[in-house]
Amino acid sequence: MSGIKIHAAIDTEISYNRIYRTHRGIWLDWMAQGARVTRNLLYDNGGAQDLFFEVNHGPFMVDHNLCLSRSDGKSDVIWESQHSVLDVSQGGAYVHNLFLNGILFHNELRRDMPFMKAHSTAVRACATSLAEMIGFTTTCLSTAGLSTTTKRDCLYG
C-alpha cells in the first residue's frame, strides 16, 4: 500500500516522482544500502508516512524531498505513525528536505537483517537495526512554525 515499495534497494535511486493519495508514499524495506531518495514531491497520503525506511543498515541518502501530507491525528501504533518520515533503520543521511510532520526514529531489535558487501548482493552479515543516522540537516514544519532542526528537535514534528 505504497506509491513505491522496494525490498533490497541496493544502489538504487528513486527520484523526480509525484506521489499522492496512497497509504504511504515511498517505502524502502530491508537492505536499502547505497539507496538515494531525491527530489520527490509527496502529498495527500492519508494513512501513514510519506517516507518509511524499515530495517535497513544503510548507508542511504534522503535529500531535496517535499513531504507535505497533513496528519489527521496521532496513532499509538508505531507503524501507523502520522509523522512525515518513520525511520526504523540506521545509516540514513537526511539533507535539505521539507517535512511537514517531522520524523520519528524507532529501534527494531526483534529482527536480524542482512547487510551486504558494498555494491553487491552478497550478504556480509546479519544484525539488528538501531535507529541511528549518519547525517541530518533538514527542515520540519509543524504547528510551531518553520525551523531548521537537528534530530532531537524534529522527532515529534
For the chain, how many structural domains are there in total? 1
Read off the C-alpha cell for 52. 518509511
* Structural contact between residues 89 and 57, judged by C-beta atoms closer than 8 angstroms: yes
Residue spans of beta strands (DSSP E) within 8-144: 13-15, 18-20, 24-29, 35-38, 41-43, 51-54, 60-63, 66-67, 85-88, 90-99, 103-105, 108-116, 123-129, 132-142
HSE-CB of 122 using CA atoms within 13 angstroms: 5
Residue 36, strand partner residues: 13, 61
Neighbour tally for 19: CB within 10 Å? 22
pLDDT of residue 130: 60
pLDDT in tens, 35-94: 999 999 999 988 779 999 998 888 999 999 999 998 766 666 666 777 899 888 888 899
pLDDT in tens, 78-136: 667 778 998 888 888 998 999 988 888 877 667 777 777 888 888 888 776 665 556 66
Which residue blocks in 20-97 are alpha helix, DSSP H? none
Domain residues for the domain of 30 are 2-154
